[in-house]
Amino acid sequence: MLKVLAVIKVPGCYHDRMPAARAEAVRQLVEVGRRFDARGWVLGTSGNFSVVSGRDPLRLTITASGLFKGQLTPDQFLEIDDGCAVVEGTSGKPSAEAQLHVEIVRLRPAGAVLHTHSIFSTLVSDIRGSDRGLHVTGYEMLKGLDGVTTHEHREFIPILENDQNMPRLAAKVREALTTHPQCHAFLLRRHGLYTWGRTLMDAVRHVEILEFLLEAVGRAGEVAIYRAASTPRLSALDAVDQAQEA
């Protein structure tokens, strides 16, 4: 099920004990970590990533807990089963949120799950949190979401209240994914973004598109204010006859 990100190259981190397909997936996740770290989306040790490394029985290869995502090494990934028990790997324990990854891949045809933690996803999840979600529509960027063919698409992004009780939070995720079967992502309030994709490449694209949209929505108000505040000054400029342009 996994496809490769075409040109990602991570030198010298091949892992002898892993099957080739999983080693390749891990190699790509290391590179994804560097990319998201450079964009400031996984500061501290925030964020976590997984790929489906088996479907029957279910196996997820997931980042261990408490690591800088810009400096991952192949031995910092663990393979877990659908109860989040470690079946392969010795590097600490799986991310506390592994249960959410399992929930997602059970309910969606996902080969990879990515969780990022940017400033704008945090802010928008907070300010729109009491609405339990937000609609995003009218942006061309929406077309990068799997199956979306027009900017007129209306994407609903559920926002769930954050919770340290993982079984309870997993149940909220299950409910949100069931209630909104078309959604491509959800936000945890003041916590960040979860998205997924059929392939890791699809999931990376979804992260970048959704982070873009959340930043656009978050900044839109600043520009709206600008319009109100600066209309007189700009109007003066625009009042010059446009005939000279024609």
- 242 touches a second copy by CB under 8 A: yes
Q: Considering CB under 8 A, how many residues would be counted as binding a second copy?
A: 81
CA-wise closest residue to 52 among 11, 89, 98: 98
Nearest distance, CB of residue 54 and a second copy, angstroms: 27
> Would you say the C-alpha torsion 76, 55, 197, 214 has a positive or negative sign?
negative
17-to-54, 60, 75, 88, 164 alpha-carbon distances in Å: 16, 16, 10, 10, 34
Nearest distance, CB of residue 49 and a second copy, angstroms: 16
Among 19, 55, 137, 175, binds a second copy (CB under 8 A): 137
Neighbours of 37 (CB within 10 A): 17
The C-alpha atoms of residue 137 and residue 150 are separated, in whole angstroms, by 10
Query: Which residues from 3-42 bind a second copy, rule CB under 8 A?
Result: 5-8, 39-40
- 149 touches a second copy by CB under 8 A: yes
Query: Which residues from 180-209 bind a second copy, rule CB under 8 A?
Result: 180-183, 188, 190-192, 201, 204-206, 208-209
Among 164, 193, 199, 200, binds a second copy (CB under 8 A): 164
DSSP string over 50-80: EEEEEETTEEEEEEBSS--GGG--GGGEEEE
- 90 touches a second copy by CB under 8 A: no
Nearer to a second copy, 59 or 176 (CB): 176
- 168 touches a second copy by CB under 8 A: no
Nearer to a second copy, 87 or 148 (CB): 148
The C-alpha atoms of residue 122 and residue 29 are separated, in whole angstroms, by 23
Helix (H, G, I), strand (E, B) or coil at 82: coil
Nearer to a second copy, 54 or 92 (CB): 92
